[in-house]
């Protein structure tokens, strides 16, 4: 399936106006979205709001994870970029959408999350001893 010129795997979000600049060379850059294709951005943002409201989904977990740190609109922009990335890979590889699940971020960094929560409890004044459950 031909996807047209300019649709490269490394820049499918940046040239469509969905990715932010972030930090480069130690300098803070603008966090505004670029102009890109207005119809595509509008459609993806609407889909991202719908995905963020879908209970028990990866997109909802990603939205809630980012909303606490960056705000709802920036989080929706990140969810829209994830939808665009998933659509790109579905079209190029010919695969179906596979939701990673709401516990994806917990499964991905289990050790670091355990360490962070233990430190947080110790700062609150609790003595913590971690013993894994027998499966």
- Look at residue 49 and tell me if it is in a domain: yes
- Look at residue 48 and tell me if it is in a domain: yes
- Look at residue 56 and tell me if it is in a domain: yes
Residue with the bigger pLDDT between 49 and 22: it is 49
- Is pLDDT above 90 for 38? no
- Look at residue 2 and tell me if it is in a domain: no
pLDDT, one tens digit per residue, over 87-105 is: 999 999 999 998 898 888 8
pLDDT of residue 16: 55
CA distance 6 to 113: 39
- 18, 41 Cβ separation under 8 angstroms: yes
Residue 97 has φ and ψ, to the nearest 5°, of -70, 130
Q: Which of 66, 72, 29 is nearest to 49 (CA)?
A: 72
Residue 46, domain extent: 23-102
- Look at residue 68 and tell me if it is in a domain: yes
Residue with the bigger pLDDT between 73 and 27: it is 73
- Look at residue 69 and tell me if it is in a domain: yes
pLDDT of residue 3: 54
pLDDT of residue 64: 92
57-66, 69-78, 104-113: least confident range:
104-113
SS3 assignment, position 28: strand
Count of domains in the chain? 1
- Look at residue 7 and tell me if it is in a domain: no
**Residue 1's pLDDT band (boundaries 50, 70, 90)?**
very low
**Residue 77's pLDDT band (boundaries 50, 70, 90)?**
very high
Mean pLDDT across the stretch 66-83? 92
- Look at residue 40 and tell me if it is in a domain: yes
């Amino acid at each position: 399936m031909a996807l047209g010129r300019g649709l490269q795997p490394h820049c499918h979000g940046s040239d469509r106006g969905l990715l932010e600049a972030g930090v480069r060379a130690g300098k803070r850059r603008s966090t505004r979205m670029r102009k890109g294709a207005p119809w595509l951005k509008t459609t993806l943002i609407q889909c991202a709001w719908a995905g963020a409201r879908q209970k028990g989904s990866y997109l909802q977990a990603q939205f809630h994870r980012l909303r606490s740190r960056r705000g709802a609109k920036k989080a929706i922009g990140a969810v829209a970029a994830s939808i665009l990335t998933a659509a790109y890979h579905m079209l190029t590889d010919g695969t179906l959408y596979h939701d990673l699940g709401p516990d994806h971020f917990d499964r991905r960094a289990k050790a670091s999350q355990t360490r962070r929560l233990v430190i947080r409890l110790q700062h609150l004044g609790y003595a913590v001893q971690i013993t894994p459950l027998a499966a």
